[in-house]
Amino acid sequence: MSNNMRDCLRKSVLDMTAYTPGEQPQEGSVIKLNTNENPYPPSPKVVEAIKNALTSDRLRKYPDPLGTKFRNAASVALGIDPDSILIGNGSDDILTILTRAFVPESGLIVSATPSYLLYKTLSEIQNARIELVPFTNTWQLPQAWPYPGANLTFLANPNSPSGTLVEAPEIDNLGQLLKGPLVIDEAYGDFARHNAMGRFQKGAQPEGIVITRTMSKSYALAGIRFGFAVANPSLIRELIKVKDSYNCDALSLEAATAAISDQVYLKDTVAKIINTRNRMFLELGKLGFKVTPSEANFLWCTHEKHSPEFLYLELKKSNILVRLMRYPGHEGIRITVGSDSEIDLLLQVLRKLV
């Protein structure tokens, strides 16, 4: 690209720092505990559904723009109105749609910090302002929320990188204060003690709250790219105007529909991951790690003797990838809960290291 064309880019794009996703090595055998993927395969019904779609007329035709089959299946699985569901190409797509729809140029996005770094990137693309409100020492929200007038407020719950959960009354308090919508990003909601989906069940249609979910983590479909939002149907109708018409392809729609319909498989996988998480928590503690109790499929840790960078680099030498994360005042490693054998290997390497 010539310099001239570069000069034609919007200033906010030129000025922004790109979002850096976790490392995604495409070759070699690495124990990948850095981007919170599920160590187990998706439901066998997903593979079957994709195979069926391949042998049909599905690829030749455009997919259903609204994802009606998925919405109906999710409605049954979650006990919510199908019209309260918006489909997305991963929940990142949903977060982008929400930002485009609610945040004007120079508008205000607010999030608690440390949290999901994409919220900042979205504000930069939109040429909006972002204010980051520190969590309390116990990873809850401050008593007085300083930005009630935000155009959009993001709360990852459970939060990443901490894995902690803000309790329901605190969410209610925050929701009541805010003028704009509160987006509860429940990418890890299936691993937690509670989530906000009950607010949309039994015909309830709350205003002011949008829940976002992903199929990447608990449903083991990170490679498929599918997420969704749940909000008041009147809001969903407006958000549909903002999304790409065909933001979800035919195969991802089939896969996501099969996955969400298999709640027995989901619960089984989640239970296995929670068991391993509890074991990891205890074992890492014995090795001198300070581990934050987690309600997600990862653990946020620091070590009493070794720096996070040292641990990250040493584990990498042993072919184990974890995520090194640095925020103002917070630095640590985030370790995804892998399979039992992966975690046995991790612990074996760490025992020699620390």
Ligand X SMILES: Cc1ncc(COP(=O)(O)O)c(C=O)c1O
Question: Among residues 34, 36, 96, 111, which is the contact residue for ligand X, using CB under 6 A?
Answer: 36
**80 φ/ψ angles, rounded to the nearest 5 degrees:** -125, 165
Cβ 203 to ligand X shortest distance, Å: 27
Q: Which two tokens stand for residue 58?
A: 């599905």
116 contributes a contact to ligand X by CB under 6 A: yes
Q: How many CB atoms lie within 10 A of CB 187?
A: 26
Nearer to ligand X, 126 or 160 (CB): 160
Which amino acid, one-letter code, is at 354? V
Window 156-195: contact mask with ligand X (x via CB under 6 A) = x---x------------------------x-x--------
Nearer to ligand X, 232 or 336 (CB): 336
Cβ 255 to ligand X shortest distance, Å: 13
Rg (CA), the chain: 21
Q: What is the spatial distance between Cα 167 and Cα 187, in angstroms, rounded to a whole number?
A: 16
Assess contact for 49 and 268: CB atoms under 8 A. Answer: no
Nearer to ligand X, 35 or 205 (CB): 35
Window 196-235: contact mask with ligand X (x via CB under 6 A) = ------------------x-x-----x----x--------
Cβ 91 to ligand X shortest distance, Å: 3
Nearer to ligand X, 119 or 303 (CB): 119
Q: How far is CA 319 from the centre of its chain?
A: 25
Burial 311-324 (b: 16+ CB within 10 A, else e): bbebbeebebbbbb
Residue count (the chain) = 354
Over 303-321, what HEC string results? ECCCCHHHHHHHHHHCCEE
Question: Which residues in 290-349 contact ligand X (CB under 6 A)?
Answer: none
Contact residues: ligand X, CB under 6 A: 36, 90-92, 116, 156, 160, 185, 187, 214, 216, 222, 227
